[in-house]
Structure 1
Amino acid sequence: MTLTTTLDTPLLADPAQVAADPGRYRVLTGDRPTGPLHLGHYFGTLLNRVRLQRQGVETFLVVADYQVITDRLSPGEIADNVREVVLDNLAAGIDPELTTVFAHSAVPALNQLMLPFLSLTTVAELQRNPTVKDEAAASGLAAISGLLLTYPVHQAADILFCHGSLVPVGDDQLPHVEQTRLIARRFNERYAGGRPVFREPQALLSPSPRLLGIDGRKMSKSRGNAIALKASADETARLIRRSVTDSERAVTYEPDRRPGVSSLVEIAALCLDLAPAVVAERVGPGGSAALKALVTEAVNEELRPVRARRAELAAEPGLVGRLLADGAERASALASSTLADVQEVLGMTAY
């Protein structure tokens, strides 16, 4: 059997084709539980996940607890953070009846796939991965750990254990999807004699821009510059008032020249479902103070139902634990089946 069906699959998926035939696809997505999710996650990934789920695309959501320690000297409060991440996803609209939600550490067979996949990846390829470089630089660690270096292979195992065919990502994550496609191709060619054991997944780019945090840098949990989904209305207002803008009076939308102002404009535009240029024109001579007031009102109104739902879910004892246990059972069954197929291809089932 040839690899025509996978080699001819382009890297980027067509959203129109996904919407037209959602049953053809299986999504793998996930979060590192390093803290509560924020506004950047909400517009960048969460709403996209919910949309795909509602379209009827089978979805797997991994809470990547093992990946917390890729670039950290201490694991921190992993259990609490896992709970926070799950609550954020549920509040945004993830339905555990439609989406399998599980933690890395609860699915051993998934992580065991790392071993054969590592044999298909060179050290040079991993060292060239831009996300590995960026994470290493952001962590401030003196040396890259083996886990951080092999982070792209762990992500490949996440995607391929469930035979995921669609991975929602920002453009900065495309190298990971490309690495996964390469691993799938090499496994099929080197070990399976050309039989397509794994298909090459496609990336589905997020339509939302990368939002800046209140300090003008990329919004990030680790930098403390983000507006958490669970933040109160007053906390949100305080954070937005502190946002970096510039000295020009009139508000315009010029991302390259005025990144801070333009990021606030984008946030308001996303909440109000308007074009950024329309928002900038509406604020116009009102300046940064008027812009921040508009953004505050828009964000708090957008997140009001999410925060109310989150509070209800958080008050239900044992909810997250039960959900993760059910998800781990489903994910483990699939991971064990995939691992058995891999071991059969490698000739590890005759003894």
Structure 2
Amino acid sequence: MTNETAPVEPTAQHLFQPARVGALDLPNRLVMPPMSRNRAPRGVPTPLMAEYYAQRASAGLIIAEASSPSQVGYTYPNIPGLFTDSQVDGWRGVTGAVHANGGRIFLQIEHGGRIGHPDTSGLIPMAPSAIALPGYIHTPNGHGEPPVPHPMTTAQIRATIDDFTAAARNALRAGADGVEVHSANGYLLNQFLATSTNHRTDEYGGSIANRIRFVVEAVEAVAAAIGPERTGLRLSPGNPHNGIDMDDADQLFPALLDALAPLGLAYLHLAYASPTPLFAALRRSWQGILIANPSNPEAPEADPIPADGGLAAAARIMDAGADLVAIGRPFIANPDLVERLRTGAPVNPLRTDLPLYGGGAEGYTDYPTLLSLESAEA
């Protein structure tokens, strides 16, 4: 197969240089970010998931899809977990397959908070305050009305921190290289940060110092349990997803980073990043490794993968100060995305005729690589 290749700009070329994150040496700076695909029945990762991640092991780092630390933390149907032995065994198959292919993998820990439903978890969700998610929520029975969550007691907050630390230990027991604590995109930890979802009047609500407390305590506990060099944190400043509204993001996020800076975490991962004044302020506040998951204005509505595979957006966010770049949907459609971007080869489009969430191998592990296309044409 013959592909026309385009020259890689100098900034983008930096993506293919080695980096060190925590205790890991990475061959390149392209990160596969966490993307739920809803293929873990009963929360147990499957051999099909192991195949999917192993196909993408050329990424500098894989951050696997969100895993719940507890039954009440489940968000949507067929999300993996990290709190039972069978789930740990399932993840061990995934991490083993990635490592066998030369890759590195962190597992993400996500508690849904108010983003949950009894039809999925069997439990009423918990959240900072009794404020339901606006709109609808996906359940095993289709679109459901979000329940009003139970406001968490102090004891439940502490128990949830214990769940995060147990899940982190389970991730290492499963062979993962580390974990990412999910405090972005409107899930539980993000709900404590936002004034729209946190109406508490105790030590976990009100002031910025109080609203960041749960996140700080959870990250401190995880880092103490497994080591800060194996612990990352994901944030999404300015992202209104899942009903999040923050009127003091410019003050809150720098304060949060200042509180976490002494820990020496492996990385900070910013979702929906763009070169804004807030991004610049956070880059100044954070002296450690910064992974940015950039927005892609070049992505067409019909196929949310830009023709360049996200290279221009990656270059922009690296120019703004990111050390590594997380590129999402292009990794779904291109198992060998690193090689395609490095050589300027064309990228596969996303198969929008197939659901992203749920299903089997089709649209999951059957995207072609350059090598397979060349073999087919030989």
In the superposition, the TM-score normalised over structure 1's length comes to 0.34
Higher radius of gyration, 1 or 2? 1
In the superposition, the TM-score normalised over structure 2's length comes to 0.32
Larger RCO of the pair (alpha carbons < 8 Å, separation 6+): 1
Q: Point out the structure with the larger helix share.
A: 1
